[in-house]
Amino acid sequence: MADNFTIEAFTLLGIAIVAIIIRVVARWFTAGPRNFQLDDYLMPLAGVVYGLETGAAYCVGAWWHGLANNSMTDEQRASLSPDSQEYHLRVGGSKTQVIGWSLYTTLLWLLKACMAIFYSRLTAGLINMRLRVQIAYAFIAVTYLAVILSILLGCQPMSKNWQIYPDPGNYCQPAVSHIDVYVTVVLNVATDLYLITIPTPMLFKARLPWREKLELLVLFSGGIFVMAAGILRCVLIVTAGADGAQQAGSWACRETFVAVIIGNAPMIYPLCRRVARRAGWYMTNLTTGKGLHSQSYPLSENDHSTMHSKRRRFRHPLSIPDTQWHTISDEQMMLPDNGKQQPPTCTADWDRSSSRSQDAGIKVVHETIVQSSAYNKERP
């Protein structure tokens, strides 16, 4: 069983590292190394922490044979000699469990921080979303402190975490500690739920074809799978009995693998979609206006010819995650008409390919949309 887990754990680690590398490459081409943000540096760090966590889980089975200071009767504890091999294995396994819990928590909250930073770029320019992202930063910081302190300070003194006799109690058995399990799973689920609520309301109200909404909904709802894996891990640890230490290490690697993939998916998604288009696997219908690049408004005959080429380069803020969209009227562009008649003004950034021939590097186009029964558009 240990051999099977070793193969599984390091296979998952390899796939996760490849995903992180693809993410870095995708960001390199879409944003450039000079425009890397904090999450672009935190994600490789998360890969290092994931490797350490996998190593700790491997040690639980390969070095300590899945043993820790749990699942022992008082008679067994009293009769176990401190000089015996089993005593050494149980002490070592318990210490590794404390390290494993700390690495597991640090990795998950690093990934949450990366998602919050990504959402801050995704919602740039939306005034009402800025506060929600700032709340996410604070929520992540506070919950991480609560979880890591519950792991490190939930049992005092620290040495009781690997005490064999007398029985230190459940809170000092790190493999199956209820305080570690319940505090972690509750705060983990709470933070994931809050992060999911940041992009999904905009997505439902965005003026996008249903197929693109479905793609982005799956992309942004990946935290649901992480929550499900965390809850399943909690149940298995609590009900595992003597196998609690091994189950804790095994499911920690599986859950964090899912979290790493979900955390990198928004950055990899645009690159995969671009490759799929070039290969002819992702088709759009420009004539019916249902394609990704077909977002437009009716034009007069004089404007039609001059705006036709630009219209195909338009990027909806939810269509390409890294598109910069800075405007005071994003909500009016993305949300259903609320009945207001004031003409919105928008400023959009166009991608690099549309501006290579320009000396300025980035071409900024100002448009004024006059809302009327005919929906005519005037350009300043």
Task: Say which range, 83-92, 244-253, 257-266, 367-376, has the weakest mean pLDDT.
Answer: 367-376
* Amino acid 123: pLDDT: 81
The tens digit of pLDDT for each residue in 124-162 reads 777 778 889 999 999 999 999 999 999 999 999 999 999
Residues 53, 8: contact at Cβ < 8 Å? Answer: no
Place of tokens 């690049």: 293
Question: What does the alpha-carbon distance between residue 73 and residue 60 come to, in Å, rounded to a whole number?
Answer: 21
Residues 262, 21: contact at Cβ < 8 Å? Answer: no
Per DSSP, the three-state class of 345 is: strand
Joined together, the tokens standing for residue 347 give 């400023």
Please count the other Cβ atoms lying within 10 Å of the Cβ belonging to residue 187.
Answer: 21
Q: Where are the alpha helices (DSSP H) in the chain?
A: 2-30, 38-62, 74-79, 85-122, 127-153, 178-196, 200-205, 210-220, 223-239, 244-279, 301-311, 330-334
What 8-state DSSP symbol labels residue 249?
H
Question: What does the alpha-carbon distance between residue 70 and residue 170 come to, in Å, rounded to a whole number?
Answer: 8
* Amino acid 250: pLDDT: 76
Question: What does the alpha-carbon distance between residue 351 and residue 359 come to, in Å, rounded to a whole number?
Answer: 14
* Amino acid 357: pLDDT: 40
**Region(s) of the chain under CATH 1.20.1070:** 2-278
The tens digit of pLDDT for each residue in 193-246 reads 999 888 887 777 777 777 777 777 777 777 888 888 888 888 888 876 667 667
The tens digit of pLDDT for each residue in 300-359 reads 444 444 444 444 443 434 444 443 333 323 333 333 333 443 444 343 343 444 434 444
Fold for the domain defined by 2-278: Rhopdopsin 7-helix transmembrane proteins (1.20.1070)
Question: What does the alpha-carbon distance between residue 268 and residue 250 come to, in Å, rounded to a whole number?
Answer: 27
The DSSP line for 179-238 is HHHHHHHHHHHHHHHHHHTTTHHHHHHS---HHHHHHHHHHHTTHHHHHHHHHHHHHHHH
**Alpha-carbon dihedral 199, 204, 206, 209, rounded to 10 degrees:** 120
Distance of CA 231 to the CA centre of its chain: 17
Place of tokens 């899912």: 258
Distance between terminal CA atoms of the chain? Answer: 70
Q: Residue 269 burial by CB count (10 A; 0-12/13-18/19+): exposed, middle or buried?
A: middle
β-partners of residue 364 are: 349
Residues 271, 119: contact at Cβ < 8 Å? Answer: no
Distance of CA 347 to the CA centre of its chain: 29
In this prediction the pTM is 0.73
